[in-house]
Structure 1
Amino acid sequence: MPSAVTEEQNRVDREVLLDAAEKLFYENGIQAVGMDKVRTASGLSLKRIYRFFEAKEDLVVAMLRRRDQRWRGSLAAHVGRVADPRERVLAVFDWLAEWFAEPGFRGCAWINAHGELGASSEAVLTEVRAHKQAFREQIDTWVRATGSPVTEAVYLLAEGAIVTAGISGDPEPAGQAREAVAALLGGPNAIESSRRASAS
């Protein structure tokens, strides 16, 4: 009789499954990836996969939720290293520039998921909206600390940079958005100082 699967093994297998699914879905698109490909990439049987997630939709939601925690956590850690409130907001765009330049960058996973499944999956749509709202709240916290009422403009510039970089494959939209935000936030030589920082 086979031994019972431990909680630690369940945790490890679930992470392996999510790692494999995220890589496949992000690189190839969700609908293009069948569960047989997830099985092969994860090394887990379909029976085991479906014990973790009853449907592919559940796997997609879990993948997006875990990616959200990692993505926003990385952004917060980067911004948190900056002391000045104004520079903190600009640091958002420095972080985006680094992300855009990563090998394998394929744009926003949540926008991609929305484009594929937003009209047919309420669960995926809810997860996408939750991520975007949480990202906006992060930006709002940092912008409010500057005393400038420009949260919506900064958020839209960030989102626009993400979409444009995802389509063009060029990280430059982050620097362009940074310049616009520097001008919005004001300060002495705002645009010129932003250009020097984004060029360095």
Structure 2
Amino acid sequence: MNEITSSETRDIILDVAEKLIYKSGIAATGMDLLVKTAGVSRKSIYRYFANKDDLIVAALKRRDERWMHWFSSEVDKAPTPAARLLNLFTVLKGWFDSEGFRGCAFINTSGETGDPEDPVRQLAKLHKQKLLDYVTRLCVDQGVENPDALARQLLILIDGAITVALVMGDHGAADQARDMLGSLLKLDESNA
């Protein structure tokens, strides 16, 4: 019989916490549910995390790292700077169409906290800043006149498309955002 190592137990707890938080939110993810779903004792959870808040922040940090890596890797597969900008929304569309899509974990969890200084809100802000920095780099690579301004507009298009896809069930929001970007930059598939 294989014994589970300490780091594997911690990873299991984080994986389960992330999935439950993404599916149902912070408030609905109680310690009893975490214990039951992860198949670990409450003592095991507290061995790695001082409290539920620490566990939530750790799970969201992992999601941030994993999501940003996935997203940038997929977007960067496009062959040219212009194509990568358009690919932002193609990749989002694929995510929207995936099983279990529940919107942006950082927008969702931020909505559960009222305090702008709450660690969850601060982590969400950091996630959005990383996304903004990445999109700014894409704009610089494309050689747009004002990459910072365009990147901020694209962040709004990205988060707007995510929100519309979740709330309205309209996965075509990614296509509409992509069309808006194409019009803004006079880009299409033929010159990207």
TM-score by length of 1: 0.87
Distance 1:41 1:120, change over 3 A: farther
What is the CA-CA distance between 1:169 and the residue it aligns to?
A: 2.0
Identify the residue that residue 65 of structure 1 maps to in structure 2: 61
C-alpha distance in 1, partners of 2:118/2:112?
A: 12
Identify the residue that residue 177 of structure 1 maps to in structure 2: 177
C-alpha distance in 2, partners of 1:120/1:60?
A: 16
2:128 aligned residue (129, 132, 144): 132
Look up the SS of the partner of 1:116 in the other structure.
Answer: coil
Identify the residue that residue 167 of structure 2 maps to in structure 1: 167
For residues 37-82 of structure 1, what are the alpha-carbon distances to aligned partners after superposition, in whole Å with 9 as ceiling and x for unaligned? 0001111100110111111111111111100111110111112211
Identify the residue that residue 153 of structure 1 maps to in structure 2: 153
Look up the SS of the partner of 1:30 in the other structure.
Answer: coil
Look up the SS of the partner of 1:97 in the other structure.
Answer: helix
For residues 168-191 of structure 1, what are the alpha-carbon distances to aligned partners after superposition, in whole Å with 9 as ceiling and x for unaligned? 12211000000001111224xx3x
The within-5 A match list for 1:101-120 is: 101-119=97-115
Identify the residue that residue 3 of structure 1 maps to in structure 2: none
Look up the SS of the partner of 2:112 in the other structure.
Answer: helix
Please say if residues 101 and 170 of structure 1, whose CA atoms lie closer than 8 Å, have aligned partners that are also in contact.
Answer: no
Look up the SS of the partner of 1:117 in the other structure.
Answer: coil
Q: State the percentage of identical aligned residues.
A: 38
C-alpha distance in 2, partners of 1:60/1:111?
A: 14
| Stretches of structure 1 lacking an aligned partner (at least 5 in a row) | 1-5
| Count, aligned residues | 185
Identify the residue that residue 41 of structure 2 maps to in structure 1: 45
Deviation >3 Å, runs of 4+: none
For residues 72-112 of structure 1, what are the alpha-carbon distances to aligned partners after superposition, in whole Å with 9 as ceiling and x for unaligned? 10111112211210000111111100111111111110011
For residues 113-172 of structure 1, what are the alpha-carbon distances to aligned partners after superposition, in whole Å with 9 as ceiling and x for unaligned? 100124276211111110010011111100111111222221211111111111112211
Identify the residue that residue 78 of structure 1 maps to in structure 2: 74
Identify the residue that residue 143 of structure 1 maps to in structure 2: 139
| Stretches of structure 2 lacking an aligned partner (at least 5 in a row) | none
Comparing 116-125 and 102-111, the one that deviates more: 116-125
Give the number of the structure whose alpha-carbon radius of gyration is greater: 1
TM-score by length of 2: 0.90
